[in-house]
Amino acid sequence: MKTNCIFCKIISGDIPAYKVYEDSYVLAFLDIAPVNPGHVLVVPKIHSSNLDDIDELMLGYLMKVVRLIGRSMKKSLGANGYNVIINNGAVAGQLIDHCHVHLIPRHPKDGLTPWPQAKYKDDEPRKLAAKIKANVIVC
């Protein structure tokens, strides 16, 4: 538990939240600034700054709960699907220094559009793939 982390304070009960799921390992609650109504955050109860430092077993369990909540959104909110988003690092849009997963219920014509896409130039894909592949460390 990190004392200055807003999610740790929500987990400890120091800050109220609209909880949708809780067990010994994770907490899921409504985002206070939702992209769409029903936008949920799923957080591990053990503080991890981001995806890079979360325990692998916890990550697997976290994703199991993400799927559980996503299925519930579809059934209870009539959502046709949902986005699963992890903003990893400030440059990627992570605002709270505690690993968390956004679940955003989606409906036809809800006004949300996917991010812009580009095209690679010439030999760029091969070079990029080689750079990434060279630094993959298998556990």
Using a cut of 0.75, tell me whether the model's pTM lies above it. yes
Q: Which residues form the catalytic set?
A: 100
CATH of domain 6-112: 3.30.428.10
Mean pLDDT of the chain: 95
Residues 50-73 pLDDT 10s: 999 999 999 999 999 999 999 999
Identify which has the larger pLDDT, 137 or 9.
9
**Helix (H/G/I), strand (E/B), else coil: 101:** strand
Q: Is the pLDDT of residue 42 over 80?
A: yes
Q: Is the pLDDT of residue 2 over 90?
A: no
Q: Is the pLDDT of residue 15 over 80?
A: yes
Q: Do residues 5 and 49 lie in contact, with contact meaning Cβ atoms separated by under 8 Å?
A: no
pLDDT at 71: 97
Q: What angle do CA 27, 112, 37 make, to 5 degrees?
A: 40
Q: Which amino acid is located at 105 in the chain?
A: P
Q: Is the pLDDT of residue 138 over 90?
A: no
Residues 86-123 pLDDT 10s: 999 999 999 999 999 999 999 999 999 888 899 999 99
Query: Counting beta carbons within 10 angstroms of the beta carbon of residue 18, is it exposed (0 to 12), middle (13 to 18) or buried (19 or more)?
Result: exposed
Question: What mean pLDDT is predicted for residues 20-46?
Answer: 97
